[in-house]
Structure 1
Amino acid sequence: MTRSTSPVILLVSCALMTLTAFTPGLAQNKSSFIDQKDRPDFASATVSPQIACGMLNSQSFAEVATLKATHVASVGNVPGHCQVTGYIRPQVRFEITLPDNWNRRLYMFGNGGYAGEDLAAASRIATRNAALTKGFLTVQQNTGHDAVTYKLGDFAQDLGLLIDYGSRAVHLTVDTAKTIAARYYDRHPSFSYWDGCSTGGRQGLMAAQRYPADFDGILAGAPVLDLTNTQIWGVWNARALLKAPISRAQLPVLAKAVMDKCDAIDGAKDGLIADPRQCNFDPAKDLKICEAGGSDCFTPAQVDTLKTLAGGVKIKGETIFPGVQLGTEGVDPSGVSGWDMWMVSEQGPSRQLAYGETFVKNMAMLPASGKAIDWKTFDFDAEYPKIGAIREIVDATNPDLSEFQKRGGRMITYFGWSDPALNPMMGVNYYEAVRKQMGADRTAEFYRLFMVPGMFHCTAGYGTDAFDAFTPLMDWVENGKAPTVIQASQIKDGKPAMTRPLCPYPQSAKYSGNGDVKDGANFECKMP
């Protein structure tokens, strides 16, 4: 007998699929170290332990509630190492992995979304092992709560857990890792590095702003540095789409119309928009309009929705956060639009809405509870001015990086111009704010931003998304060689289908006018 599925159960299942389809573990570019095969100066790992791994079990460390140290034999390319796990009070789960042959460098990687990840998740183990094979002491943590116990942002009702998520967990974990390294090797790390994207990018900026001595080099991809306004933006976008939804079937049509209008404005008809700010797409003029709507046309109400999305979040008439960037609706080689699941979902709430709704219910109104807030009736003009305390805990918007710069810190950030999850203008505007605060020349001496045309959130998309920004960071920190270009590829069937130079902002890659537009050799970095 076939058992039917209840419509209620099916609806809940679809909603859960929407929320779990994007796991925090995927918020990492995964291309760090790919260019180190030709760098023997980064391959030396000559420092050995001075005590047995098990001896760490009998030692105490500040703030550490429990600790377990176990030696793990080498397997394949992964070297033998001392694996240290434990908790920092109250609930920060950490893992510190110390290789038998150490390169005197510490590598710590970040989290995604509202974090709380399983440190043994396959994607996190892959990131850890990639660093471990290079001789790095590797460090990770879960920001102080377990995502299985707390749904999305529910943990924030506990102020201590929220503070750990904001910045404390990373800071105390890297301090603990340095102390353990000194005990184990009788040496401190020569260089300490951070590598993270999305929430991990925010964590990197938070370290530079609040704990400038924690890391010598910071790689911060697609940082959700203005977490507060980003989540309000997610609710704003969902409200606009509630009035006149855009269907998944319409997304390729919208993407083609935008590309047809704006592809060639940068001098190369290559399926990429080098800088969306140059695109003058007008949905009222550049889309096919029809009263009833359809897969190949848009209603006047849908055009208004697209204009609202592009206009950004407005509070009492003032724009407080930029609008959705043109190109984010583009489709990847498999035909999937960047908006799919992030903004347009036909299986429960979009990801932007899921993250935004949990923020307004658990964080936005602190110290008051926002549990009773209904996103569909949220009064932006009345409620937005009440948002205050949360900004001091989770936002990394301070443009004064002078302390980080004074002690020799170096930082690279990158952002996909077609990121549908986080607004790429957030990265551009922050970099401009730092340049205004510290001066353009001084900023370029220690901090550079690389924008990636056609890349979605941290990776994927229809542009180049395979690039190693970590090796240039090491070169900058250790050898004083500032990155003037980062080579990127789009990989298809294991081979490069497109290459392109990534340029330090405000430069962008310009086509020479000759040769294959898929070949990065025919582009060079130039000022706009």
Structure 2
Amino acid sequence: MTRPFLLASCAFLALAPFAPASAQNKSSFIDQKDRPDFAAATVSPQIACGMLNSQSFADVTTLRATHVAAVGNVPGHCQVTGYIRPQIRFEITLPDNWNRRLYMFGNGGYAGEDLAAPSRIATRNAALSKGFLTVQQNTGHDAVTYKLGDFAEDLGLLIDYGSRAVHVTVGTAKTIAARYYDRHTSFAYWDGCSTGGRQGLISAQRYPGDFDGILAGAPVLDLTNTQIWGVWNARALLKAPISRAQLPVLAKAVMDKCDAIDGAKDGLIADPRQCDFDPSRDLKICEAGGADCFTPAQAETLKTLAGGVKIKGETVFPGVQFGTEGVDASGTSGWDMWMVSEQEPSRQLAYGETFVKNMAMLPASGKAIDWRTFDFDAEYPKIGAIREIVDATNPDLGEFEKRGGRMITYFGWSDPALNPMMGVNYYESVRKQMGAEKTAEFYRLFMVPGMFHCSMGYGTDVFDAFTPLMDWVENGKTPEVIQAAQVKDGKPAMTRPLCPYPQVAKYTGSGDLKDGGNFQCRMP
């Protein structure tokens, strides 16, 4: 039987490459309608909102506290804004009736977002309406002032972007909450995707006491290699470009080859690693190329993309997963704009190029580097310092686990922006470091077939992973499955259980393939 869903907007903003990326999955809280234990908000302020203006807090250079009256389902609250040295812009909203929980959400791309952007206000208000004290920040720089990674010329701003901004902001929020309510925060939660996912992981690794529960979607945890990968892919496509018109043809060929390997011909590939797709063998090849066929050089380009980044013959980062080129209900391919762009640089290239020029070669400058002639074999070994600042690849989560921390990560198997194998490989490294059984006690990964970057795609992208996280942290209920839906015209068009890795959703053999009740989580 199809599970009912309380639907929420999951709109993904298709931004130009030079705008801050918006990559927050909007489905948190949708399963809390019938959870009175999560709805109690009984703590009231013990001082007037305006009194916070006369308080002093460490490193806070400016602070403005204003009470805002209730509007609709958004309760009355004290809105606190200000700056933490040197340039961290923050916003903390303290509801008139507090549930003693803190909710902090993340950033996208190279961040620097306007905290009053509609998408961020919507995320804030969703949490505020549940009684959460909500927190956000801009990672320490303003994207209007700096173009993509240009802020990295200032080491202090780069360190704030890497990890410090989240850490000092959540600490400030907890201090302000204690002053305002005369009560300490009972539970602190993180919710972010993409850069926000990386921020969550880096918090667990470097500041294990900051959050009790972390929801990290599609974390760009290996930021360094991800951006090098973006340049690598652009170079491959420069040799034999793939046209946007060819993408649906490629997507159909991949699906025809690999759809049924998981036991269900349902338009989804449960695990793309099982997809044995060979462009030279499985595509129509023609010498001149065209909308419905590919040249031999284009087939080789596709093989290069699938082969990953190779330095002196050694693969240092996994290749593009087949399935990411798939098309959504509107006919738009996942590669469109992210990898294949005919009018302007692809997003992968835009993000990768600014990384190479501003961050990769620290402490040396990379401003003179031309991505078209970048010598991977010679220059890649010089990349070092930046990894310690921005990457979240440490598999030792022992301190986070000892403090009782719980973490859920999720990744779309068809994510065209970030490599989903990055999430799988990190989880495997934690299992190797800490043991599979121990890891499963506090950290679980859920892979989402057919989902693009944080949301959308041709799979199920509407799911609430935040409520199970709360249940795990507060009630000890380990998440064994997360129910997900694909929504069309406001109604579920398909449902599917998301399973804790390495389990996958297997078709039981009978019933509607679009009904998640006919699938069960099983070991592959």
- TM-score, scaled relative to structure 2: 0.97
| 1:206 corresponding residue in structure 2 | 202
**How many Å separate the matches in 2 of 1:342 and 1:495?**
28
**8 A contact 1:331–1:337 mirrored in 2:** yes
**How many Å separate the matches in 2 of 1:369 and 1:112?**
25
**8 A contact 2:18–2:350 mirrored in 1:** no
Paired residue for 1:432, among 428, 449, 453? Answer: 428
**8 A contact 2:20–2:148 mirrored in 1:** no
- Measure how far apart 1:264 and its partner are: 0.2
SS in 2 for 1:139: strand
| 1:194 corresponding residue in structure 2 | 190
Verify: 1:264 aligned to 2:269, yes or no.
no
| 1:151 corresponding residue in structure 2 | 147
Q: Pick closer, same or farther for the CA change 1:155–1:337 going to 2, 3 Å.
A: same
- Measure how far apart 1:347 and its partner are: 1.5
| 1:62 corresponding residue in structure 2 | 58
Q: Pick closer, same or farther for the CA change 1:214–1:454 going to 2, 3 Å.
A: same
Q: How does 1:15-26 map to 2 (within 5 A)?
A: 20=16, 24=20, 26=22
| 2:8 corresponding residue in structure 1 | none
| 2:39 corresponding residue in structure 1 | 43
**How many Å separate the matches in 1 of 2:307 and 2:371?**
20
Verify: 1:447 aligned to 2:443, yes or no.
yes
Verify: 1:281 aligned to 2:285, yes or no.
no
**Which whole-Å deviations, capped at 9, do the CAs of 1:228-274 have from their partners, x for residues lacking one?**
00000000000000000000000000000000000000000000000
- Please tell me the residue identity of whatever aligns with 1:500: R
| 1:120 corresponding residue in structure 2 | 116
| 1:512 corresponding residue in structure 2 | 508
Count of equivalent residues: 512
- Please tell me the residue identity of whatever aligns with 1:426: M
Verify: 1:404 aligned to 2:400, yes or no.
yes
- Measure how far apart 1:26 and its partner are: 2.4
- Measure how far apart 1:38 and its partner are: 1.0
| 2:479 corresponding residue in structure 1 | 483
SS in 2 for 1:277: helix
**8 A contact 1:19–1:354 mirrored in 2:** no
**How many Å separate the matches in 1 of 2:159 and 2:380?**
22
| 2:363 corresponding residue in structure 1 | 367
Paired residue for 1:456, among 432, 435, 452? Answer: 452
**How many Å separate the matches in 2 of 1:315 and 1:276?**
24
**How many Å separate the matches in 2 of 1:21 and 1:463?**
25
- Measure how far apart 1:23 and its partner are: 5.1
Verify: 1:111 aligned to 2:107, yes or no.
yes
**8 A contact 2:226–2:418 mirrored in 1:** yes
| 2:4 corresponding residue in structure 1 | none
**8 A contact 2:237–2:301 mirrored in 1:** yes
**Which whole-Å deviations, capped at 9, do the CAs of 1:399-447 have from their partners, x for residues lacking one?**
0000000000000000000000000000000000000000000000000
Q: How does 1:119-138 map to 2 (within 5 A)?
A: 119-138=115-134
- Please tell me the residue identity of whatever aligns with 1:234: G
**8 A contact 1:208–1:404 mirrored in 2:** yes
- Measure how far apart 1:51 and its partner are: 0.1
- Measure how far apart 1:86 and its partner are: 0.1
**How many Å separate the matches in 1 of 2:49 and 2:201?**
33
- Please tell me the residue identity of whatever aligns with 2:308: G
Q: Which blocks of at least 5 consecutive residues in structure 2 are unaligned?
A: 1-12
**Which whole-Å deviations, capped at 9, do the CAs of 1:36-82 have from their partners, x for residues lacking one?**
00111000000000000000000000010110000000001100000
**8 A contact 2:460–2:494 mirrored in 1:** yes
| 2:7 corresponding residue in structure 1 | none
- Please tell me the residue identity of whatever aligns with 1:276: P
**Which whole-Å deviations, capped at 9, do the CAs of 1:104-148 have from their partners, x for residues lacking one?**
000000000000000000000000000000000000000000000
Paired residue for 1:142, among 135, 138, 141? Answer: 138
- Measure how far apart 1:20 and its partner are: 2.2
SS in 1 for 2:221: coil
| 2:26 corresponding residue in structure 1 | 30
- Measure how far apart 1:24 and its partner are: 3.9
The percent of aligned pairs where both chains have the same amino acid is 89
- Please tell me the residue identity of whatever aligns with 2:106: G
- Measure how far apart 1:364 and its partner are: 0.1
Q: Pick closer, same or farther for the CA change 1:221–1:115 going to 2, 3 Å.
A: same
SS in 1 for 2:162: helix
**Which whole-Å deviations, capped at 9, do the CAs of 1:336-388 have from their partners, x for residues lacking one?**
00000000001210000000000000000000110000000000000000000
When the two chains are superposed, the root-mean-square deviation of aligned CA atoms in Å is 1.0
Q: How does 1:180-259 map to 2 (within 5 A)?
A: 180-259=176-255
- Measure how far apart 1:22 and its partner are: 8.2
SS in 2 for 1:382: helix
| 2:346 corresponding residue in structure 1 | 350
Q: Which blocks of at least 5 consecutive residues in structure 1 are unaligned?
A: 1-16
SS in 1 for 2:408: strand
**How many Å separate the matches in 1 of 2:507 and 2:20?**
36
**8 A contact 1:111–1:197 mirrored in 2:** yes
**How many Å separate the matches in 1 of 2:297 and 2:248?**
19
SS in 2 for 1:445: helix
| 1:8 corresponding residue in structure 2 | none
- Which ranges of 4 or more aligned residues in structure 1 deviate by more than 3 Å? 21-25
- TM-score, scaled relative to structure 1: 0.96
- Please tell me the residue identity of whatever aligns with 1:91: Q
Verify: 1:179 aligned to 2:192, yes or no.
no
**How many Å separate the matches in 2 of 1:26 and 1:390?**
24
- Measure how far apart 1:21 and its partner are: 6.2
**How many Å separate the matches in 2 of 1:525 and 1:421?**
27
Q: How does 1:317-332 map to 2 (within 5 A)?
A: 317-332=313-328
SS in 2 for 1:280: coil
- Please tell me the residue identity of whatever aligns with 1:58: S
| 1:13 corresponding residue in structure 2 | none
Q: Pick closer, same or farther for the CA change 1:361–1:399 going to 2, 3 Å.
A: same
| 2:336 corresponding residue in structure 1 | 340
Verify: 1:468 aligned to 2:464, yes or no.
yes
